[in-house]
Structure 1
Amino acid sequence: MIMNKRFSTLLAATLVAGGFSFNAMASVTAGPGSIKTGEYTLLKFDNSSDKVLSVDPATRKLEVIDYSTLISSNKLAAGTSLKKLNNALWKVTVNSSTSVTGQSVTYSFTNKAGQALTVDLLTDAVGHVTNGTAAISKSTTGNTTWAWTDANGLYAVKSFGTEKGDSVFYFTKDLKLKSAVYDVTSPSIPTDGALVGVEDMSQYTIELTAASFNDLMSTYEGKLFFNNGKDVSASETNALKNQKWQALPFGTSTYTAGANAIAAVNAGSETAFFLWNGKEVLAGNNDLTAKDQKKKFFLVVDNNCYNTEETLNKLVIDTLGWEPIFDASNNLTAITADNLKTRSTVAKRSPLAAGFKGVYHIAKDSLVLTALARPASIPVTTTLGAINTNSGYGTGSTAMDNLEKAVVSFIGGFASNPPADKATFAESNFESDGSAYTYLASGGTTPVSGKALVDKANEYIATLTGDANKAAKATAQNYLAAIKGLAIVKASTGGNALPTVTTDKFVNGKNFADGVTAMDVTQYESAANKGGQLSIKKLSSTYVLTPAPVSTAEATLASDFIAPLIQPFATAPADGGNAVITEGLYYIKDMMKADDNKYYGTFYDLSVVNAAKRVQKEQAFNPYAQFIVEKTAGTTKGNYVISNRAGATDNESVDNWYGVTNVVDKDNNIYTINGDTIQLVAADDVDEDNAYIGFKYITANDAKNNKFTITSAAEMLAGQTIVMVKDSSLKIAEGEMLFTLTPSAETEYGANEDLINVSYTIYNDADSTYLVKKDGNYRFIHESNIAPAAITKFYMIAVDTDSTYVLADGLDAATKMVISTQYKTISAMDLDERNDMFIVKPQSAPASYKSLPKHVRIQAINGDYAAVNAKNQGIAVREGDLKADAYDNLDFIFWLDTAHYENAAPYTYYITKGVKETEEVAASRLYMWNSVDSADVKDANKELPYVYGAGANRVMFRTASIMAQDTLLVPTMDAVAKIDTVAAGDGTSKDGLKHAVKAGVKNFQFSFEFASKDADNEYNIVCQNNNGKNYVHNINGVLAMGPKEDAVVVNVLDVTPEDEAATGNETINAEGVTVIAANGGVQIIGAQGKKVVITNILGQTVANTVLSSDNATIAAPQGVVVVAIEGEDAVKAIVK
């Protein structure tokens, strides 16, 4: 339980900033008691409870939490973190000012996560209270200045001017923001305010676990700094600095130490941990049988010391001979008594000497680290394991055998006459063969000293020469080195008890285990010996870092040990951080440098179909890869909120990007925010006015006027389209399938709701089927078998480029189309599966002749000309036929009247026989007509006038007039003369007259579509009725309908004004000029000195001359010619 330290002296204050009434509150003379500017406090809801104010980092709403869910028994409670605690710790800023009414005090609060206590002072009209929990303001105008009364707690006053008066705003116990009218003349604060207590946190600490240590380090740079000027000398090394530390668990709460007394050094405590610097090296495995295990580098209390008394151990970074086993998440998985203590063969560094504890001081943001144990000195232990029976000396090793017997007899157990304390091997006597220790013994052979036995051995070693004896010589030399200085420390007590011995290698109280002897440790934290705190120790001329052997709190050590200020930052970050960022739209690059961060240097993309949440480069077309950076309300720098432009959330990135923001590399716009390191890249290439980016957008008009293809964007499947197989399922195959895409209503989305997406139904026109998701997969279902509400709507999400799309049936808990690489079938897969992209575009409509209404000639590429004969039949006339006096000029001229010119579709026309200059274009005239609907009509001779040859429908020219774009008035051809209204389909007119309307207008509509991609001005003439035989053919000079194959190919030729204006008179008398058609020529009277040009019906010039006579005859071919005389209108003449 936290002690209650209320703002006992905090009284009502006059607000002096930003829109608040200056004289609305009484003045005060006291501050917030023991809480000073810059210190942290808890804002409590009830003096008798642990309910405190916090901020939910996900929603940025204020929340009430129980303090006991944060800290319990000086430890972080289960499931919490330092980041969560930081949301509930509020730094106080005391604002004082003096006015004519006295001293006024207000307060501002910023939590340790960098979030200011800022809210919009707005409530609902009814009840004057917010509907839900109050939230942190997202605007720059949120209130950050608060007043306090000792009785009613935190509040603010907003001035609405003299007409409306003022309102007081305060928090209820369920964290709603409530308002009440504030009477300036009789000020009083409502009594149901909830925030009524504060807590001084200056004395509170947290015992760190491995997880909370890492949580703290990740908030900053991951390194430790010594910040109060107390550090080691320049000549010394501070092992804690310049390393990026990660804590690994030292034990678990269920760990049982067993007989090796590890419990004495808290190996089972959850608050003990190893400190790993993130580096590894290939080294010996835990059984020391091979160099095949990656070993971590830990902070370790070293065997070596700074002083001769061996009490001030050095700190080093090294591997452990036996390394505890961790899983992939660095959780401890194996630690046993045998592993740590009772092994007979281990390396020199014990895992127990790498254990540490940490305490975090909340108010100072500092740590105290304590070592758990130090390597123990050897208390004069036996070296029997090192000097045991040896072999391998080679032949003739009597001297070595005698020496070995003497050593065994010297350190063996005896029933009587054992070596006494301090007896040395060198001065002791043995039987000549070393078989018996004879010191103080009577009788027997002449004794030999241990020194003499050693000398004999050395003489023997000198004889071992050459490669053959190299191994034997080394073994013998090692044995002599092991027994050098052999002496008795404590004599045997008889029986089988062995004496305690030592050699030159081991000195009591100084030497540490070095791999020859099993290790031991001395624990710092025991009842008799509290210590281990990492402290600065002053030696004669230097300062070093060492675990203090006893508590540094003891007064007797104050002058010798200095407690450093260890903090996870070099310089305490200012409130809100130090970053200054221009608000706006950015791409964000992951700049977290870590060995396991495979996404380093990539850009974030929170698209629902991107499982990796990363892309390699900026994407101007993708709002999910764009982010909005804004200042946190109530701040001017160093505190920002980053939102995904598309409004996407992700608890590994954007959900955490709020609060304190610090500079890492100013020149490259690299910052840290809430533990992440990111680079901001200005999204200057984004068209922010285009609300439709990120999704395929088709206007309603384009969707109505176009058919679409949906093809694979994969290189190996390029151009292959979605098709239906026999069971109505989908696959990718060659060919073309056309779809009608019908857009849904536009939906606003995004962080600022300024983006729009649209979904589409996909309709297969050829089979009248819809593409739907049914029974977990995609298939085509006939429109008659599906209700409109069951038709699937597909989102087309831009991926990789702005023109390749993933097709998904939703944006949340949905699926998308994925192509089987083996079978090319299409399946419904989760949104986080791999992506297959598609290209969606309008049908490549055949390129067509496009023109405004005008006169043209139509010439087949074989030279024949389209014409209209006397029976109003369409014919193709050869050049020789033009010589006959069978055709009028207008029989070869056609008027194109535009019927349709939709986007991406061929222009269609009504084609009529040429219109004389004096006629109105809209008048009744002869319309080109596909006579398919009259194929069965017979004439008086029982013949089929509208069929040519083997069933080809003739192209006819039929009298009609335009009523509307898609409606003609067509006289009937039966005996009862009447007029039919012909339109797109049968029905009733909508003009109020309700007369019958017949289908068939498309039989009058034609287009000129390119016959070849490579040909210029070469077209097929295509009727728009789409019956499969809607192409115009030239069959022996007769124009008739047929399939696309062998359709006539024509050129569309412009005509001259003279052609259009020509009349049909054979003899024309212009004013003063006479033109007479004659046999084989044209006679011209009255045009002497004028230029005359004569052209045939094809527009070809046959004569071009200046008349030298007043009565001249100019030769011309038979047929229709046009005579143009300088200064006169052109006239037509028929030459015989």
Structure 2
Amino acid sequence: MIMNKRFSTLLAAALVAGGLSANVMATDIATTDLKDGQFIHLSTATGGTTYLAMDAKGDFSTVDASNWSGKINSLLGALWQIKLIPHTTQAGTTYTYSFTNRLSGQMLSVNLQSNVVGGGRAAISAPTAVAENEIAANEKGGNTEWAYEAGKGFYAVKGDSIFTIGTNVSTGRLTFAAAKLTTAPSNTTMYLGEVSDAAVTLKASDFNALVKANAGRLFFTDENVSSTEKNVLTANKWEAVDAKMTSGKYASAGTDVLFLTNGKEYKNRMDADMADATTTQKEYLLVDYNFYDPSKEFNMLVADTIATEPTTSDADAKFDDRTVIAKHHPATAAFTVTYYIPNDSMVFAPAYVPTSIPVATTLEAMHTALPTDGEVAAVKTVVDYLKAGVTLFSAQDKASDFPKGTKFAEVKKFTEEGATGSAKTGQDLIDAVKTEIKGITYSETAATKKKQEAYVAAVNKYLTALNGLEITTVSDASSAALVSTSAIKDGSNYVDGLNVLTVAAVSPAKQVVIRKLSNTKVLTIGEITSATETNGNLIATIKTSDKDATIGGDATIAEGLYYIIDAEKEESAGVANKYYGLYFDESPVNPANYVAKAQAFNPFAQYVVAKAAGVDKGNYTITNRGDKNEGWQGVTNVVDKDNNIFVIEGDTVQLVAAEDVDADNAYIGFKYITANDAKNNKFTITSAADVLEGQSIVMTEDSTLKVAAPEDEVLYTLVPSDEKEYGVEDALKKVTYTIMDADSAFIIYDATRGYVFSNGKHATKNGTPVQFTMIAVDTDSTFVLYDGTNNKKLVVSTQYKTISGEDLDARNDMFIVKPQAAPASYKSLPKHVRIQAINGDYAAVNAKNQAIAVREGDLKADVYDNLDFIFWLDTAHYDNAAPYTYYITKGVKATEEVAASRLYMWNSVDSAAAKDANKELPYIYGTGANRVMFRTASIMAQDTLLIPTLDAAAKIDTVSVAAGKSADGLKHDVKAGVKNFQFSFEFASKDSENEYNIVCQNNNGKNYVHNINGVLAMGPKEDAVVVNVLNVSAEDEEATGNETITTDGVKVIASEGQVEITGAAGKKVVISNILGQPVANTVLTSDNATIAAPAGVVVVAVEGEAAVKAIVK
């Protein structure tokens, strides 16, 4: 925002006001106490605990303060990082402020624009209702610099107006006001509030939300391990899992803890029932108590498997048994993780520490575990004596006999059987075992010998474990003595593979720290008793970003259309990402969601990149062009600037400009057929698979679908639905199609049989036609047929070539959809045309309503001109018939109603025997050719015309396909013969474009139009006239109808059976037919005269005016 003098004065006032705020409540922050970069809340009241929040998309809401556990996104949405912007004024340095949201990374941005009189914002009804003077979402490109005063909220000055924003607690939205004022108005709905310094205990969802931006990575921003050491926290990507524990066991009513996994998985050794594993187990962060440094003060943090996977349910019955065979008790991987709001950091605290197994217990278990199969009796006897002596050595109430430091091998306190005595030392008992082992005579049976050898090996292992056995703590009345051996030490015997592992709560509390050992810094746990350093423990701030500021990225990306490549090299630590280098694709029929290369035809493989509101860089939305619910948004950081590689929402992606995309094509990615082509074409649907090339979808005898190669071309009618908008800003369009064969059988979906044809030759049951979406896959001309209603796609069986509906995660089978290779006839929507024979003659209508072939200027010096050759093609059939047929009519504008009365071209074959008053045959030309005539008629329905009779008793005949009674309640007679009025333009030669024969649809063998000396008459296909169908200019179209024709002050209106003339009182009027024969000659006595005239083209000559033509119906 540009500073001006008046705004500087307001800022100075704000500074003074802030300095005098002596009574501000403890939770409010005075402007003088603000620090650049600190986090604050925007409270809705002074001292309030309801805060303005923003979600990840930038929508506003309000949230109430809580302990925030389980609600971390609500907390982050309510945190704003403040930036102080200094301004030098006469009163000193004053400040404006910008506010960046911790969750969305967007700066608070509002357009300083009012759209109602007096200032403010008008209400919005759609797509989401927003009340008057409220703002629902952060506004892109708006003002981001605000002045603040307690009690006046946020405001900005632009021109002579002050714009203020506040909050509406009930709706959770910003309020907006604008007024021409000299001082900021009161606003008590926005205050600067302190954030709590209390720790937030995180649940798994909280932790995962915090680390999402960097894909689960953690960072140490002030201290870290030495370069020679490994920091397991920063070397992995972590995801938290919730669990509950009591005394180190899973318990549904236990204390909440978190387990952090790095995603690595291994085949489990045993399942929950201790049988061979069929599941996997993950690696978790844990404290390795099995390793100590010499000072016993350094426990490593490692990632390893644990005995049982974490759960919030009760521990299973095999929990203890599983710990016996594990390296780590599950509880050693249990942590509490707390989040500290002011410095945006976390603390990891281990929940449990393992308890040491008494060495005597381990030795007892080793003896118990000696195999019984293959044991040698003599050896067993002396081993049992030895075990009795070891037990006696660590028994209670023997402190006087076995003081601390007494060595088992040296003390002479045993009998030969290991009881109390003085004849033998512990070493004597050990030697007795060794002597018996030497004297063994092994079995000659190999299997038995093998078992004996295994038994002896176990005994020798037991003997080795006794090496160095001594008293480390004397016994007392309440507990046994504690002993150690050379290999097994009292106090650090956590795992022996024989006994159940046990744990205790960590006390005193410890946390993950960096510890300095000599000159090396290592990652371990330690007790922190001060804010700086205690006993070599260095406080290490664990954060979710390696940037100086947790929010706000450093990426700068040009807005536009891109392809996105997966640039994440590892799926998890040490596990390669198999999709690395592939392009993202959100097509509904692509279960992998990746393609190997950029696809300019596929909107689901294209993404729109836009900056978030209120930022110059570092925060973007990347939205899939075809599916606006897919993509990324938020803080965006640079990984490789030269190659356009960035991190957003924890994913590493590479952007490739989609410069080859036709961005203006709204129908991209789907098969699109224009309405004209859909009506006037039949289509082939063939397999795109190489092994099925050219094979079509066909109907089997049981009405199911398959792919086959029939002898004749299989043609389908595709009936389109209405267009549906979709994608980013609903800028794209798609159309679905029903598929109908030549027998009017549609493809339907049957819950039992799948996709079948209905209502056709082999099916009698009706059904709802399936609306298929044809999605381009692999190329812009191969399509998957996708049924969005049933969420299935058509897939061809590789063995039987049958077609079934499969779920969207099945493989794709593509089809090629093409119009009929060579249409048999001319196709068009209704329009004006000229029909010209290849010899240059044009079709026209003479005064007797006979069809003729003439040229401009023929007959009576320029009687026929350009407009006489224009006809209106009215579509008769296109839905379910080939060829395409038309009514060829005269005297209609493109805008005139279809049912309007006009002259219809007619094959007069049914009137061939009729004679006129002179007993001549007016409908016959030459040696028996039926004339092509024009008769007045109007359309009642597609196959039905209303036609006035030609006899004296003027009646209206209903003419249709067949004779009968009408379907309406009147039940009047219906005559046959409508096909005599229906004509097609069939290709005269496949080798020539736009050359047609005119064919009547009565199919009587003489249904082709001929040009016989300028007369159009019917005959066989041989020697039929060949014509071109020519388009008509817009100007000519305007002159073809029966609406008003104006000649300098005089209006001529041709209607049914008459001509109306206005503005010509006292003038002579002559009306002639097309041959120049007068039909009326009179002097008008009125300015609004009506003169009878025959149907057809007439010439109207008004005295003193240019003659005009009109068509009388």
Instruction: Confirm or deny a common fold (TM above 0.5).
Output: yes
The answer (yes or no) to whether the contact 1:393–1:400 under 8 Å persists in 2 is no
Q: 2:284 aligns with which of 288, 298, 305?
A: 298
Residue number in structure 2 paired with 1:405: 385
- Deviation digits for residues 11-44 of structure 1 (CA, Å, limit 9, x no counterpart): xxxx745999666665444572333111111101
User: Are 1:374 and 2:373 counterparts?
Assistant: no
The answer (yes or no) to whether the contact 1:639–1:658 under 8 Å persists in 2 is yes
Residue number in structure 1 paired with 2:226: 233
- Deviation digits for residues 983-1034 of structure 1 (CA, Å, limit 9, x no counterpart): 9999xxxxxxxxxxx99997897856356x6x78999956243637467699
Residue number in structure 2 paired with 1:709: 683
The answer (yes or no) to whether the contact 1:35–1:41 under 8 Å persists in 2 is no
Q: 1:247 aligns with which of 230, 240, 246?
A: 240
The answer (yes or no) to whether the contact 1:846–1:1010 under 8 Å persists in 2 is no
The answer (yes or no) to whether the contact 1:720–1:732 under 8 Å persists in 2 is yes
What's the offset of the Cα at 1:104? 3.4
Residue number in structure 2 paired with 1:630: 610
Counterparts of 1:598 and 1:937, CA distance in 2: 85
Residue number in structure 2 paired with 1:97: 87
Counterparts of 1:273 and 1:497, CA distance in 2: 35
Counterparts of 2:137 and 2:839, CA distance in 1: 71
Counterparts of 2:60 and 2:651, CA distance in 1: 23
Change (3 A) 1:708 1:51: farther
Query: Which amino acid in the other structure matches residue 647 of structure 2?
Result: T
For the residue of structure 2 that corresponds to 1:108, the secondary structure is: strand
Residue number in structure 1 paired with 2:929: 956
Residue number in structure 1 paired with 2:151: 151
For the residue of structure 1 that corresponds to 2:347, the secondary structure is: strand
The answer (yes or no) to whether the contact 1:1018–1:1051 under 8 Å persists in 2 is no
What's the offset of the Cα at 1:144? 0.9
User: Are 1:363 and 2:347 counterparts?
Assistant: no
Structure 2: stretches of 5+ with no match in the other structure: 20-29, 124-129, 761-766, 828-833, 842-849, 851-868, 889-904, 940-949, 953-958, 963-975, 1011-1015, 1029-1113
- Deviation digits for residues 518-552 of structure 1 (CA, Å, limit 9, x no counterpart): 43435323xxxx1321222233343332222xx31
For the residue of structure 2 that corresponds to 1:405, the secondary structure is: helix
- Deviation digits for residues 755-775 of structure 1 (CA, Å, limit 9, x no counterpart): 4556789999987x9999999
Residue number in structure 2 paired with 1:194: 189
What's the offset of the Cα at 1:687? 1.5
Counterparts of 1:378 and 1:956, CA distance in 2: 118
Counterparts of 1:910 and 1:151, CA distance in 2: 79
The answer (yes or no) to whether the contact 1:611–1:833 under 8 Å persists in 2 is yes
Change (3 A) 1:42 1:461: same
Counterparts of 1:26 and 1:1033, CA distance in 2: 95
User: Are 1:276 and 2:276 counterparts?
Assistant: no
User: Are 1:208 and 2:202 counterparts?
Assistant: yes
Counterparts of 1:815 and 1:435, CA distance in 2: 79
Q: Alignment RMSD, CA only?
A: 6.2
What's the offset of the Cα at 1:375? 3.3
Q: 1:217 aligns with which of 190, 194, 211?
A: 211
The answer (yes or no) to whether the contact 1:627–1:642 under 8 Å persists in 2 is yes
Residue number in structure 1 paired with 2:831: none
Change (3 A) 1:849 1:20: same
Structure 1: stretches of 5+ with no match in the other structure: 1-14, 441-446, 783-789, 859-871, 873-896, 912-927, 967-973, 977-982, 987-997, 1055-1136
The answer (yes or no) to whether the contact 1:1033–1:1048 under 8 Å persists in 2 is no
Counterparts of 1:378 and 1:109, CA distance in 2: 56
Larger mean CA deviation between 411-420 and 564-573 belongs to: 411-420
For the residue of structure 2 that corresponds to 1:43, the secondary structure is: strand
Residue number in structure 2 paired with 1:118: 109
The answer (yes or no) to whether the contact 1:393–1:475 under 8 Å persists in 2 is no
Change (3 A) 1:356 1:266: farther
Counterparts of 1:92 and 1:1027, CA distance in 2: 86
For the residue of structure 2 that corresponds to 1:325, the secondary structure is: coil
Larger mean CA deviation between 621-630 and 41-50 belongs to: 621-630
Counterparts of 1:292 and 1:827, CA distance in 2: 33
- Deviation digits for residues 315-343 of structure 1 (CA, Å, limit 9, x no counterpart): 333333xx2235xxxx5555258724x88
The answer (yes or no) to whether the contact 2:584–2:605 under 8 Å persists in 1 is yes
Q: How does 1:678-697 map to 2 (within 5 A)?
A: 678-695=653-670, 697=672
Residue number in structure 2 paired with 1:387: 367
Q: 2:910 aligns with which of 915, 924, 933?
A: 933
The answer (yes or no) to whether the contact 2:555–2:636 under 8 Å persists in 1 is yes
Change (3 A) 1:122 1:487: same
Q: 1:474 aligns with which of 457, 469, 473?
A: 457
Counterparts of 1:415 and 1:291, CA distance in 2: 43
The answer (yes or no) to whether the contact 2:35–2:84 under 8 Å persists in 1 is yes
For the residue of structure 2 that corresponds to 1:148, the secondary structure is: strand
User: Are 1:669 and 2:628 counterparts?
Assistant: no
- Deviation digits for residues 1025-1054 of structure 1 (CA, Å, limit 9, x no counterpart): 3637467699xxxx99899xxx65999899
For the residue of structure 1 that corresponds to 2:35, the secondary structure is: coil
The answer (yes or no) to whether the contact 1:295–1:319 under 8 Å persists in 2 is yes
For the residue of structure 2 that corresponds to 1:480, the secondary structure is: helix
Residue number in structure 1 paired with 2:402: 421
Counterparts of 1:962 and 1:396, CA distance in 2: 122
Change (3 A) 1:760 1:820: closer
Counterparts of 1:852 and 1:372, CA distance in 2: 93
What's the offset of the Cα at 1:117? 0.5
The answer (yes or no) to whether the contact 1:357–1:372 under 8 Å persists in 2 is yes
Query: Which amino acid in the other structure matches residue 296 of structure 2?
Result: E
Q: Return the index of the structure with the highest Cα Rg.
A: 1
User: Are 1:285 and 2:265 counterparts?
Assistant: no
Change (3 A) 1:957 1:171: same
The answer (yes or no) to whether the contact 1:61–1:135 under 8 Å persists in 2 is no
Residue number in structure 2 paired with 1:63: 61
The answer (yes or no) to whether the contact 1:27–1:102 under 8 Å persists in 2 is no
Counterparts of 2:792 and 2:483, CA distance in 1: 78
User: Are 1:799 and 2:776 counterparts?
Assistant: yes
Change (3 A) 1:686 1:292: closer
The answer (yes or no) to whether the contact 1:248–1:274 under 8 Å persists in 2 is yes
Counterparts of 2:180 and 2:397, CA distance in 1: 106
The answer (yes or no) to whether the contact 2:353–2:503 under 8 Å persists in 1 is yes
User: Are 1:1027 and 2:1010 counterparts?
Assistant: no
Counterparts of 1:218 and 1:415, CA distance in 2: 57
Counterparts of 1:975 and 1:267, CA distance in 2: 98
Query: Which amino acid in the other structure matches residue 280 of structure 1?
Result: E
What's the offset of the Cα at 1:504? 4.0
For the residue of structure 2 that corresponds to 1:577, the secondary structure is: coil
Query: Which amino acid in the other structure matches residue 125 of structure 1?
Result: V
Q: How does 1:32-181 map to 2 (within 5 A)?
A: 32-58=31-57, 60-68=58-66, 71-72=67-68, 76-77=69-70, 80=71, 82-100=72-90, 103-113=93-103, 114-125=105-116, 128-131=120-123, 132=130, 134-135=134-135, 140-152=140-152, 154-160=153-159, 167-174=163-170, 178=175
Change (3 A) 1:636 1:935: same
Larger mean CA deviation between 106-115 and 208-217 belongs to: 208-217
Change (3 A) 1:696 1:345: closer
The answer (yes or no) to whether the contact 1:1019–1:1051 under 8 Å persists in 2 is no
What's the offset of the Cα at 1:98? 1.5
Q: How does 1:903-1052 map to 2 (within 5 A)?
A: 932-934=909-911, 956=929, 1009=987, 1023-1025=999-1001, 1027=1003, 1029=1005
What's the offset of the Cα at 1:97? 0.7
Change (3 A) 1:553 1:338: farther
For the residue of structure 2 that corresponds to 1:594, the secondary structure is: strand
Q: Percent identity?
A: 33
User: Are 1:586 and 2:562 counterparts?
Assistant: yes
Counterparts of 1:271 and 1:1028, CA distance in 2: 90
- Deviation digits for residues 739-781 of structure 1 (CA, Å, limit 9, x no counterpart): 485785x7766544554556789999987x9999999999989
The answer (yes or no) to whether the contact 1:205–1:361 under 8 Å persists in 2 is yes
Residue number in structure 2 paired with 1:351: 330
Q: 1:553 aligns with which of 529, 537, 540?
A: 529
Change (3 A) 1:360 1:999: same
Counterparts of 1:587 and 1:392, CA distance in 2: 68
